[in-house]
């Protein structure tokens, strides 16, 4: 059986969500034309039971990969095991692999919540709001364990990719890795990955974290007839994933780079004590061209 879907709509767009599949967004599309604004999810994608086949999911209490089997916290080592069958590292936290609850649902709003005990106790809330073609996502997390722990947040949207897809997203640096390792140092952004002006996505594979992002992004889809003007808060980094031969790409607003738990100064992470919280928000405003 496919997951239960929630439906939201405003004057211009409609949205479906699957709370039990990691609070995933399923489809966001233009009401007048059916144009997909996030990667289209068909019935097979929904029945797969994994957020990785859907349109977007929240990342908590960290984003991307963590090395060394865990990380140090003030009161000792936090052990982590790989959480997928294809990656040697624990990836994207634990919220995406759990069923969330529906706390509120109306025509234009939904609030989904998760009380998690893995890998430590936290409460996550995802507020979803549609208004005049603007999709607002607000992710909030509160630490519930007695022992303090390190937190990071992110969102993992998949966008349609066409031959003329263009991106604007300025960044100061890109995180790079030594051979076979997780990223460990920052470098100047090479020309083909530089989106300080609107430009087409590169033909080669990109799978990197970028830092010094002011939080503004524009995704333009000329052949599909629209653009998304995006803004984030609580995210000074983004991950860009452009696989070859696929009809999608990922632009992920995140609070921290890959493996930040083992980088000097733990950039973008926050140490939360019991009852303390952090937030990340992302807005995507649809405009017809």
pLDDT in tens, 98-109: 999 999 999 999
DSSP per residue, 196-234: EEEEEPPSS-EEEEEE---SEEEEEEGGGTEEEEEEEES
Dihedral sign, CA of 28, 29, 34, 37? negative
The answer, yes or no, to whether residue 211 has pLDDT greater than 90, is: yes
The answer, yes or no, to whether residue 1 has pLDDT greater than 80, is: no
Give me the pLDDT at residue 91, please. Answer: 98
Residue 271 CA to residue 278 CA, distance in Å, equals: 10
Selection from 35, 18, 73, 5 nearest residue 221 by Cα? 35
Runs of H (alpha helix) within 74-224: none
SS3 46: helix
Give me the pLDDT at residue 280, please. Answer: 98
CATH T-level topology, domain 6-288: Beta-galactosidase; Chain A, domain 5 (2.70.98)
Given the DSSP bridges, would you call strands 13-18 and 24-30 parallel, antiparallel or unpaired?
antiparallel
Give me the pLDDT at residue 72, please. Answer: 98
pLDDT per residue as tens digits for the range 157-201: 999 999 999 999 999 999 999 988 999 999 999 999 999 999 999
Give me the pLDDT at residue 225, please. Answer: 98
Map out the domains of the chain as residue ranges: 6-288
H-run or E-run covering 5: none
90-to-123, 152, 164 alpha-carbon distances in Å: 20, 14, 34
The size of the chain, in residues, is: 289
User: What does the H/E/C string look like for 88-101?
Assistant: CCCECECHHHCCCE
The answer, yes or no, to whether residue 2 has pLDDT greater than 80, is: no
pLDDT per residue as tens digits for the range 42-60: 999 999 999 999 999 999 9
In the predicted model, what is the mean pLDDT of residues 245-263? Answer: 98
Average pLDDT along the chain: 97
């Amino acid at each position: 059986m496919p997951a239960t879907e929630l439906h939201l709509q405003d004057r211009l767009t409609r949205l479906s969500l699957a709370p039990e599949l990691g609070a995933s967004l399923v489809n966001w599309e233009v009401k007048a034309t059916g144009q997909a604004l996030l990667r289209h999810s068909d019935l097979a994608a929904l029945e797969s039971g994994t957020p990785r086949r859907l349109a977007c999911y929240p990342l908590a209490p960290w984003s991307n990969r963590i090395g060394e089997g865990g990380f140090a916290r003030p009161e000792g080592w936090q052990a982590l095991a790989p959480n997928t069958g294809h990656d040697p590292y624990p990836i994207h936290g634990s919220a995406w692999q759990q069923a969330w609850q529906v706390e509120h649902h109306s025509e234009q709003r939904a609030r989904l919540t998760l009380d998690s005990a893995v890998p430590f106790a936290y409460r996550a809330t995802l507020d979803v709001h549609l208004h005049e073609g603007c999709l607002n996502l607000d992710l909030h997390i509160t630490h519930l364990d007695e022992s303090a722990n390190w937190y990071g947040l992110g969102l993992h949207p998949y966008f349609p990719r066409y031959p003329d897809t263009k991106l604007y997203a300025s960044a100061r640096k890109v995180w790079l890795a030594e051979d076979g390792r997780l990223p460990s140092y920052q470098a100047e952004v090479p020309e083909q990955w530089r989106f300080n002006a609107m430009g087409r996505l590169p033909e080669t594979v990109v799978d990197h974290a970028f830092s010094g992002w002011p939080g503004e992004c524009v995704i333009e889809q000329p052949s599909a007839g629209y653009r998304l003007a995006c803004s984030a808060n609580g995210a000074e980094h983004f991950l860009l994933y452009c696989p070859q031969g696929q009809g999608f790409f990922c632009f992920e607003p995140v609070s921290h780079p890959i493996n930040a738990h083992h980088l000097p100064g733990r950039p973008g992470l926050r140490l939360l004590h019991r009852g303390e919280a952090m937030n990340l928000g992302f807005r995507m405003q649809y405009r017809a061209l």
